[in-house]
Amino acid sequence: MLTHDLIEGADDAAAFTGLSRRKIYRLAEEGHVPVIRKGRRLYFRKSELEYAFRALERTAL
């Protein structure tokens, strides 16, 4: 179900990815990871984060 794919907030996204909260904010701001903004809240999809990091790994090689 899609609700199981949703992560609320940069703290949870950081825990999911193993990155710092600040790094998540920066990657979202620069457009490197997809984010849904509702007011001041940020939401991320686990599947989109996984895809974005696979793409970033390929370009870093």
**Domains along the chain?**
2-60 (1.10.10)
The Cα–Cα gap between 59 and 45 comes to 21
> Mind listing the pLDDT tens digit for each residue in 1-59?
566 899 999 999 999 999 999 999 999 999 988 999 999 999 999 999 998 888 766 66
> Mind listing the pLDDT tens digit for each residue in 3-17?
689 999 999 999 999
Joined together, the tokens standing for residue 4 give 């199981």
Which pTM was predicted?
0.79
Phi, then psi, of 33 in degrees rounded to 5? -125, 140
| 3-class DSSP assignment, residue 38 | strand
